Structure 1
């Protein structure tokens, strides 16, 4: 890991030095990289949740397994209870992991990006 990003100083913003511009560009690149990583993380979590939902205990049971299942109904009840809890847990993964990450990305990173776009648009007329 590197040293990290240098802070953006207000006084350098006023001077608009080449050093400030380079530092600002590094911050913007890091912001974009972080946004892409969160987007990738969201996709991977969704993929894991979908894969876990497709797996099903007992989906490919043999005849012997079915006979054992019939004779052990109480055990099958316990497995159904575990499966119900697993489904409930996976259902909550979206609201507890994916939605907060999407909200963070939209609210915080998106707001900074939108602010930069507005700033660039408003300052463009002063550059030309």
Structure 2
């Protein structure tokens, strides 16, 4: 519609922005299209379901406060969710590549059939050239599709594999290390507290 002002929701650095203005304290927002793509003022808006992770406060981290522990749990849940979705993405990407390879093989057979048919029209210049041109166009498409599969395998699939096997694992290992050190620290504090009580007696 002419003259409408676009309303934009976007996500940047795990923060939600509405028309360029940051929406603070946002953990999870789902935008529902209740007006068929337009709000009550006639403004068009597009919808992006999103999950937002709050930034961990370093000062709260030093205090090891309940707020920090809550932020840490939220971050751990976010990592678990990210891992789950990356695994789904990896599986689907792998499936697309495998099915794409089968498609390329069948497509090559189809191309061979076209050129086999062309040989039967060697005395018909128009049909012979037309089938040849058609086959060559399809061969270019097949080459581009094969290159796409190869690039997807080498870039996206490898990146997803590295993220799942290396990056996510390192983050989880650090989380386990923190839990162990935090537990040891709590035990040490308790022992010191008990020792102080014994001395007072």
When normalised by structure 2's length, the TM-score is 0.52
**Of 177, 182, 186, which aligns to 1:118?**
177
Q: Report whether the alignment pairs 1:80 with 2:129.
A: no
1:79-114 CA deviation, whole Å, 9 max, x = no partner?
334323322321221112111222234443222111
Question: What SS does the corresponding residue of 2:107 show, helix, strand or coil?
Answer: coil
Who wins on radius of gyration, i.e. which is larger?
2
Aligned to 2:198: none
Alpha-carbon deviation of 1:67?
Answer: 6.1
Between the aligned partners of 2:68 and 2:181, the Cα distance in structure 1 is 19
Partner residue, 1:68: 117
Closer/same/farther in 2, CA of residues 69 and 112 from structure 1, 3 Å limit = same
Greater relative contact order (Cα 8 A, min sep 6): structure 1 or 2? 1
Q: Contact 1:38–1:105 (CA<8 Å) still a contact in 2?
A: yes
Question: Structure 2 regions of 5+ residues with no counterpart?
Answer: 1-27, 30-50, 122-130, 188-201
Q: Which residue of 2 aligns with 1:6?
A: 54
Cα contact 2:115–2:135 (8 A) shared by 1:
no
Question: Which of the pair is proportionally richer in helix?
Answer: 1
The 2-side partners of 1:11 and 1:80 are apart by: 61
Name the counterpart of 1:90.
149
Which one of the candidate residues 81, 95, 98 is aligned to 1:47? Answer: 95
Question: Are 1:42 and 1:101, in contact at CA under 8 Å, matched by a contact in 2?
Answer: yes
Q: CA deviation at 1:116?
A: 1.2
- Structure 1: tracts of 5 or more residues without a match: none
TM-score, reference length from structure 1: 0.77
- Mapped to 1, the partners of 2:96 and 2:163 lie a distance apart of 20
* Cα distance, 1:67–1:104 mapped onto 2, change above 3 Å: closer
Contact conserved, 2:115 with 2:132, CA < 8 A, in 1? no
Q: CA deviation at 1:29?
A: 0.1
Higher strand share: 2
2:108 is the alignment partner of 1:108 = no
